A and B are shown apart, each in its own frame.
Chain A
Amino acid sequence: MTRPRWIVSAFIVWHLTCVVIAALPTDTWQPRETPATPVWVAFAGPFNALTRMMDGLTWAVTAPIVDFRRALDKAVGTPAGWYVGMTGLAQSWAMFSNPPQYDRYWRVRYYIEAPGGRPWMATELIGPSHREDQVRLFQSYRDSYRDKAFEIAFDGFVKRRKASAIEPGARPEDLPDDLAPIGRYFARHFAARLRDGERIIRTEIWVGTVANKKPGEPVDAAVAIERRAALLGYTEGPVEERLSVRPYPPYHGLETEGDIEWLLEYYEQS
């Protein structure tokens, strides 16, 4: 074998080792001891047996892989980390590994100070970016990037937020800034429609959740209609409230619309 081929061979071995370390689940990845709970009503017998079988497969497959990855990591983990970091090959393929069992919504609320007039507020539904009661076709492709941005920002926010910060008097400086770009981006766009002299004095980000029905559960039509009515209120743009402006809610304050439970996750004041 020629010298260049030896060099390329070494590179191939090194590269494959590094991407295996980067792609295989990390040390924190351990099989959960809890077996899956059978959820199916129809075909309960065979499906429950299959569930037990998958549990068994999990324990059998994961243990040797954890050991293998740990050994690789011990041998070359540090330089491999540098390599994948520098080349941009760090990779995680955990997509949909734990699909949420709830729907999520996003809204931004602005409090506006008007010169010599009453303050007023407006609430804008910003997520899902595409209306959930419509078929997703072309525009939804672009919208999917915005929804992804919300989710990644919120994941980072939740991870970095200290448990002690979740108390009614929490101030913005007590909270991580992961959601700040979302609030500022939409506030800037909303501010463009304000009249002269009006300015946004507070921006709040609310995250709404609704648990999805479990397999086999019937749909509660009345609840579904109530939620849809609540969301339809936002379809024409920000909902303005000029007559009765509510006092500022406490941090992590709760509001409900239909079956959506909204939590105040982040706010900024100016």
Chain B
Amino acid sequence: MTDSPPVASARPSWLARWEAYWFIEVPPHSVAALRIVFGAMALVSVAGLTPIDAFWSLDGLSPLPSNPNGPRSWLIDHGLAVWAGRAYFAYSAAAAAAMLVGYRSDLAVLATFLGLSLQTHWNRLPLSSAHQVVLVVLFCLIWTETGRVWSLDARRRSPPDQGNEGVAIWPLRLIRYQVALIYFSTALWKLLHPAWRDGSAVYWALNLNTFHRFPWTLPVAAEPIVAVLAWGTLLFELCFPALVWFRRTRTPTLILGLGLHLGLWLTLEIGPFSWVMIASYIAFLDPHRVARFGGRGAGLHRIEQPSASAAAAGH
């Protein structure tokens, strides 16, 4: 998972390779793009968790307090179940919005992460894997400066920040490892169950009345295609970490993943999961290309260019 072009050189020590691999500086545009997109995802998720009184109020669709002396019990006992929920909703929405627009970006990312973390304890009932993906990505973003470009913070600076200074790549790499782990882990879970091994899992999923997007029965003639899709999905997820590692296979892998998640979104109502996974692919894009895409390529000369040792750490 490197973004450095191969350069012929003497073989550096493992320490130099390690340092180059994790600490090389890259343009800040990738982490800024992740902040924007995941801020939007967090905002959309908060909006999905409405009506407020159902999912945020402690007397809504929320587990009963297990500890009679805990904070949730205290809020309920003092008649604050509804207002605390509304305040928490407002906090979550404001934090996600601040992250989206890049207002006090670093604080906004931390605040959104804390808000989402707390939600697991406040009301875990409506939370899906999408929530978990946002959480693990935000955890990595906490450690970098996401507001250097494409943010209100950058505009407020005088002179405005053009993103000429780089950021360390390691938070971005952590996201890559985390996303690869998601695919690998889900494939392992799937291997366990006969429905994935016999190729019927996608068939069953498409027929679920709480998930199917279209209320039509799958034609019998289409069933073999569905079987191939099941095996294909399983193999794709199992091989994702390896395929995305190498530069040559990375782009086709991401395109396949895009197809997989768009297909999921088109056929199943699974909340924001598909979009969250697609958004996480930003971490796999070459940060220099993302910066050029943002029209800031001219200002990148001050960022450390990939060194020979960095290149050697890659493939």
Residues of A participating in the B interface, judged by any CB pair closer than 8 Å: 1, 5, 8-9, 12, 15-16, 19-20, 23-25, 29, 31-32, 34-40, 42-43, 47, 50-51, 54-55, 57-58, 61-62, 65, 87-89, 91-101, 103-105, 127-128, 130, 132-136, 140-149, 151-153, 156, 177-178, 180-182, 184-185, 188, 212-213, 215-216, 218-219
Contacts and interface: CB of A to CB of B under 8 A. Distances in A.
A130 B210 CA distance: 8
Contact of A37 (B19, B193, B198, B214): B198
Interface in B111-156: 113, 116-117, 120, 124-129, 132, 135-136, 139
B189 A216 contact: no
17 contacts: A12-B22, A29-B189, A40-B227, A87-B139, A88-B120, A95-B128, A97-B190, A132-B209, A141-B269, A145-B126, A146-B61, A149-B126, A181-B60, A181-B63, A185-B60, A215-B203, A215-B227
Interface in B269-308: 269-273
A97 B269 contact: no
Nearest to B191: A58
A185 B128 CA distance: 21
Interface of B: 15, 18-19, 22-23, 48-50, 54-55, 59-64, 113, 116-117, 120, 124-129, 132, 135-136, 139, 168, 170, 174, 177-178, 181-182, 184-186, 188-201, 203-205, 207-210, 212-215, 217, 220-221, 223-224, 227, 231, 234, 238, 269-273
A51 B199 CA distance: 7
B133 to A, nearest CB: 9
A134 B54 CA distance: 24
A95 B61 contact: no
A144 B48 contact: yes
Contacts of A16: 174, 177
B170 A128 contact: no
B198 A43 contact: no
A141 to B, nearest CB: 6
Given A1-B19, A132-B215, A54 B196 contact: yes
A87 B140 CA distance: 11
Contacts of A145: 48-49, 55, 126, 128, 271
